[in-house]
Chain A
Amino acid sequence: MKRTAAALAALLLLGLSATACAEDGDDSGGGDGGAKSNTIKSGLKIAFLPKQVNNPYFTTAGNGGKTAVGEFKGTYSETGPSEASASSQVSYINTLSQQKTDVIVVSANDKDAICGALNEARQAGTKVVTYDSDTKPDCRDLFVNQATAEGIAKSQIKLISDAVGPDGGKIAILSATANATNQNAWIEMMKTELAKPEYSKLQLVATVYGDDDDQKSFTEAQGLLAKYPDLKGIISPTTVGVAAAGRYLSGSAYKGKVALTGLGTPNQMRAFVKDGTCKAFALWNPADLGYLAAYAAGALASGMISGKEGEKFTAGKLGEFTVGKNGEVLLGEPFTFNASNIDQFNF
């Protein structure tokens, strides 16, 4: 009995591996060579893969993408990890690729880590568009950027300088994850901006990471003030971070004494703008970003563009866009929200 059972088990395992033995011949993805079409094909499967799914910023962007995909009669889906982790994104990329998605629209948690999976997906025929946070240029076909890093940095530093006042003082940055491409690009530009003579009174003392996790961001904000009691301002260029920092400050003894600015959504920041914790913050319209990314994805998958500099395509109601250097498409400039205009928005 023992030996037969063992033999049977071994045979079954061998049988299993035999089914897996076939070489992966198969699917060339949609052919892109040949004549350029000038309408987006219908029936395209577009999948959004944000940094994390339970983040209102990405939910809004996804809704914009969904509208766009509906306009060109494709199929929209959104999936992703609950925590902003690069390894989790790899697993979703693999699944989407197996499901024969036409384009993956991804906001990368790490510029290197998901490259392997993305390239494997591209080899199997899926196109890749990054939005919000890029990867290395050679693992994707297009990058849809919300604003230039310089534009964002300039706006943030100006806002904190106005909020802190002419006497200046110590400021700190509460970022998202330590490896997020977009965060690091913006922080670098902010440091360059701070070196300018008009900001000489501002001193950047620390950069901490809240991992786009509300509780961690909250605790990090708390820690900043414990370590630097004379801190005058916090910049948090991430919607989760600025909301968490706002909540901490507004419930503490530092309300009104420590300035806060960052990139936030109007709905999350409304209460803090109204009670004075945060005078002004910036963002762009994430729905527009998603909308543009979806149209770019559609154009790419239909062969209308291929990511080369100078190519043009139309993104529905947003108008015409031109592909820039390194396959980058720019949405526009950051927009400043404050008490006078915040009630006009709902996202």
Chain B
Amino acid sequence: MTALAERPGDTRTRGRVVAQRFFVVRELGIGLALLLLIVITALVNPRFLAAQSIKDLLLGSTILAILATGQAIVVITRNVDLSVGSVLGLSAFAVGTLFVSAPGTPIPVALAMGVALGAACGAVNGLLIAAARVPALVVTLGTLYVFRGIDYTWATGKQVNAADMPAGFLRMGTKAVLGVPVLALFAVVVLVFAGYYLRAFRSGRELYAIGSEPAAARLNGIPVGRRIFGAFVVSGALAGFAGVLYAARFGTLDANAGINSELNVVAAVVVGGVAIFGGSGSVYGAALGAVLLTTIGAALPVLGVSPFWQRAAVGALILAAIGLDRILMARVGERLRVIGGRSVAENAPDQRKGARRA
């Protein structure tokens, strides 16, 4: 890590602590909101906490959580990946076709294929964005179209039916271990891996630096292009993985799998505290955001609210989350300025910062 002298009152540490505290608060806030929602809904209808109901909730949020994890990694670098829904659809149909034509395929092979396909799509995105230096919004908008079009060309008129898929694979979609669905366990494993990587590896932390201030990151020797390429490959791979799980859960697949899901993914990420302007947030927050959104969808009918309000609620939440983040950023910026100002007065000679290679 950075070779810092951990002196008490050191500007940078205090600044970092302040920033970290604000964003941990942010994630705790989501967790709290989630808890509150569950409690209120359970009070209205205790069956909301029944085993089947919880199982459905976890299953429903798994795919979104995995997509959100990948998206968070991309958004942290101040980019966005709108093509995840199309990659999911492509991967799901590919896996379905694989099983229909070769029913004896072992499940790990299918998983690997889905991930590889997703990674390839992500690589296309990453190449265009990193090499051609084109805004991610435009590129992933285009690849959203292109990948979905490829999916349609392949799948039009055809449909993979649940009846044609191997029973073992479909069972994976509904099986539960100690009440927790297998699919949800997959999501947890992915989440923990991603979270650990972002926190403990230098290349992971560099993603944050790139998102905070790309020019400064480049000047500091961080291989920005390579890191961004990697981020998109990961996002694509996770979307491919989510596609395989989608195939297991729903069984019947057509060209429309995953369509329009990019919006929900971005919502989950933004609501989960990953700032859309990059540089902060965590995959845990994004996953929490995914669970929160799914729970809202499940809770609304129970609370007697027309389920049609769910989309509007998603939109309102995005706006609220962005607004909240802007306020938080402003506050953090102010605090850092105050600390910096005070430290200038106290430690004038020490202001030259030392080496950063770690």
A84 to B138, CA, bound (A): 29
Residue interface bits A240-279, CB-to-B below 8 A is 1, else 0: 1001100100011110000000000001101100000000
B252: which A residues are within 8 A, CB to CB? 214, 240, 243-244, 247
**Interface 9-mer from B50-58, B184-192, B322-330, B333-341:** B50-58
A267 to B160, CA, bound (A): 13
The verdict on B193 contacting chain A, using a C-beta distance below 8 Å, is no
Does A215 contact B250, Cβ atoms closer than 8 Å? yes
The verdict on B98 contacting chain A, using a C-beta distance below 8 Å, is no
Does A223 contact B250, Cβ atoms closer than 8 Å? no
The verdict on A82 contacting chain B, using a C-beta distance below 8 Å, is yes
The verdict on A291 contacting chain B, using a C-beta distance below 8 Å, is no
B251: which of A83, A227, A247, A253 is its contact (CB, 8 Å)? A247
A240: which B residues are within 8 A, CB to CB? 252
Majority secondary structure of chain A interface residues (helix, strand, loop or mixed)? helix
A54-B161 in contact given A82-B255, A214-B250 (Cβ < 8 Å): no
The verdict on A30 contacting chain B, using a C-beta distance below 8 Å, is no
**B51, B163, B256 — which one has the most chain A CB atoms within 10 A of its CB?**
B163
A251-B174 in contact given A218-B250, A226-B53, A226-B298 (Cβ < 8 Å): yes
Does A54 contact B162, Cβ atoms closer than 8 Å? no
Does A271 contact B163, Cβ atoms closer than 8 Å? yes
Closest A residue to B171 using CB positions:
A251
A82: which B residues are within 8 A, CB to CB? 152, 155-156, 254-256
B30-82 residues with Cβ-Cβ distance < 8 A to A are 47-48, 50-53, 56, 60
A59: which B residues are within 8 A, CB to CB? 157, 159
Residue interface bits B287-315, CB-to-A below 8 A is 1, else 0: 00000000000100110000100000000
A270: which B residues are within 8 A, CB to CB? 163
**A59, A226, A243 — which one has the most chain B CB atoms within 10 A of its CB?**
A226
Does A54 contact B159, Cβ atoms closer than 8 Å? yes
Does A222 contact B256, Cβ atoms closer than 8 Å? no
B94: which A residues are within 8 A, CB to CB? none
Does B307 contact A54, Cβ atoms closer than 8 Å? no
The verdict on A56 contacting chain B, using a C-beta distance below 8 Å, is yes
A253: which B residues are within 8 A, CB to CB? 51-52
Does B156 contact A54, Cβ atoms closer than 8 Å? yes
A287 to B149, CA, bound (A): 30
A54: which of B51, B56, B60, B155 is its contact (CB, 8 Å)? B155
The verdict on A213 contacting chain B, using a C-beta distance below 8 Å, is yes
Residue interface bits B149-179, CB-to-A below 8 A is 1, else 0: 0001001111101110000000001100000
Majority secondary structure of chain B interface residues (helix, strand, loop or mixed)? helix
Taking the nearest CB of chain B, how far is it from the CB of A110, in angstroms?
Answer: 19
Does A222 contact B56, Cβ atoms closer than 8 Å? yes
A252: which B residues are within 8 A, CB to CB? 52, 56, 174
Taking the nearest CB of chain B, how far is it from the CB of A17, in angstroms?
Answer: 29
Give how many A residues have a beta carbon under 8 Å from the other chain's beta carbons. 31
The verdict on B119 contacting chain A, using a C-beta distance below 8 Å, is no
A271 to B253, CA, bound (A): 18
Closest B residue to A218 using CB positions:
B250
The verdict on B257 contacting chain A, using a C-beta distance below 8 Å, is yes
A247: which B residues are within 8 A, CB to CB? 162, 251-252
B162: which A residues are within 8 A, CB to CB? 243, 247, 268
The verdict on A55 contacting chain B, using a C-beta distance below 8 Å, is yes
B253: which A residues are within 8 A, CB to CB? 214
Does B255 contact A268, Cβ atoms closer than 8 Å? no
The verdict on A53 contacting chain B, using a C-beta distance below 8 Å, is yes
Does B56 contact A213, Cβ atoms closer than 8 Å? no
Closest B residue to A53 using CB positions:
B157
A227 to B303, CA, bound (A): 9
A226: which of B152, B158, B254, B301 is its contact (CB, 8 Å)? B301
Closest A residue to B258 using CB positions:
A215
A56: which B residues are within 8 A, CB to CB? 159, 161
A199-222 residues with Cβ-Cβ distance < 8 A to B are 213-215, 218-219, 222
Does B159 contact A223, Cβ atoms closer than 8 Å? no
Residue interface bits A303-335, CB-to-B below 8 A is 1, else 0: 000000000000000000000000000000000
Residue interface bits A47-64, CB-to-B below 8 A is 1, else 0: 000000111100100000
Which residues on B are within 8 Å of A, measured CB to CB? 47-48, 50-53, 56, 60, 152, 155-159, 161-163, 173-174, 250-257, 298, 301-302, 307
Which residues on A are within 8 Å of B, measured CB to CB? 53-56, 59, 78, 82-83, 213-215, 218-219, 222-223, 225-227, 229, 240, 243-244, 247, 251-254, 267-268, 270-271
Can you name 17 A-B pairs with beta carbons within 8 Å?
A: A55-B159, A59-B159, A82-B255, A82-B256, A83-B256, A223-B298, A223-B307, A225-B52, A226-B47, A226-B56, A226-B302, A227-B301, A227-B302, A244-B252, A247-B162, A267-B163, A268-B162
18 other contacts beyond A54-B156, A240-B252, with CB at 8 A cut-off? Answer: A54-B155, A55-B159, A56-B159, A59-B159, A78-B157, A82-B156, A214-B254, A222-B56, A223-B298, A226-B48, A226-B298, A227-B301, A229-B50, A244-B252, A253-B51, A253-B52, A267-B163, A268-B161
